[in-house]
C-alpha cells in the first residue's frame, strides 16, 4: 500500500511541477524542441511529452527518493536537488543524445551556460514536486486519523 501511495504522490507531484515548468518552456519557445523528440515539433505535442516525462520523473521521486527522507524540510530540499539532477540528466546529457547531437554534448561550460534558463525551470519543478508530495502525504495522514463514520 505504501508503494502505491508513494507512486501516486510522485506522479501527481511530477505533474504539478511539470505544469509551471512547461509554461516557462512555452514562454522560452522550447516546447517544439521537446515535441521534435517524438517527431512532432510543435508546442502542443511538446507540452504533452513534457507532462509525460514529468509524471515519470515524479514517479521516480516517489519510489526511490522520498522513502529515504525523514521529514518535510528534507523532502523540499530533496525536490530541489532532484530537479537539479534532472537538469544535468535531461538537457545536458540525454536530450542532446536523443536529438542526435551526441551523449552529454551539453555537459560542458558552454552547454551549461546556454541551459541556465532550463535550470531555473528544473528547480521550480523540483520544489513543486517536493511540496506536492508532502501535501499529499499530509492529506493521506489526516484521512487516516479521522474516525470512520458508521451508517445505520
Which residue reads 532532484 in cell numbers?
82
Q: From CA 115, how far away is CA 28, in angstroms rounded?
A: 11
Query: Which range has the worst mean pLDDT, 7-16, 17-26, 64-73, 93-102?
Result: 64-73
Q: From CA 14, how far away is CA 7, in angstroms rounded?
A: 10
Phi-psi region of 148 (alpha: psi -120 to 50; beta: other; left: phi over 0): beta
Q: pLDDT by residue (tens digit) across 85-102?
A: 999 999 999 989 988 899
pTM of this structure: 0.87
pLDDT at 109 over 60: yes
Q: From CA 65, how far away is CA 73, in angstroms rounded?
A: 14
Nearest to 78 by CA among 60, 104, 52: 60
Q: Is residue 16 exposed (0-12), middle (13-18) or buried (19+ Cβ within 10 Å)?
A: buried
CB 50 within 8 A of CB 31: yes
Helix, strand, coil % in the chain, rounded to nearest 5: 80, 0, 20
Q: pLDDT by residue (tens digit) across 111-139?
A: 999 999 999 999 999 999 999 999 998 76
Q: Is residue 107 exposed (0-12), middle (13-18) or buried (19+ Cβ within 10 Å)?
A: middle
Amino acid at each position: 500500500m505504501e508503494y502505491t501511495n508513494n507512486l501516486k504522490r510522485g506522479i501527481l507531484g511530477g505533474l504539478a511541477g511539470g505544469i509551471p515548468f512547461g509554461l516557462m518552456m512555452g514562454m522560452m519557445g522550447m516546447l517544439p524542441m521537446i515535441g521534435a523528440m517524438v517527431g512532432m515539433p510543435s508546442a502542443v505535442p511538446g507540452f504533452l511529452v513534457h507532462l509525460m516525462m514529468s509524471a515519470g520523473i515524479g514517479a521516480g521521486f516517489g519510489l526511490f527518493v522520498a522513502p529515504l527522507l525523514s521529514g518535510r524540510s528534507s523532502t523540499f530540499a530533496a525536490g530541489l536537488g532532484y530537479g537539479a539532477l534532472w537538469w544535468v540528466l535531461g538537457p545536458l546529457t540525454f536530450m542532446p543524445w536523443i536529438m542526435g547531437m551526441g551523449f552529454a554534448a551539453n555537459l560542458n561550460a558552454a552547454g551549461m551556460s546556454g541551459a541556465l534558463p532550463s535550470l531555473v525551470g528544473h528547480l521550480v519543478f523540483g520544489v513543486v514536486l517536493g511540496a506536492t508530495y508532502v501535501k499529499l502525504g499530509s492529506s493521506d495522514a489526516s484521512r487516516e486519523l479521522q474516525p470512520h463514520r458508521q451508517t445505520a
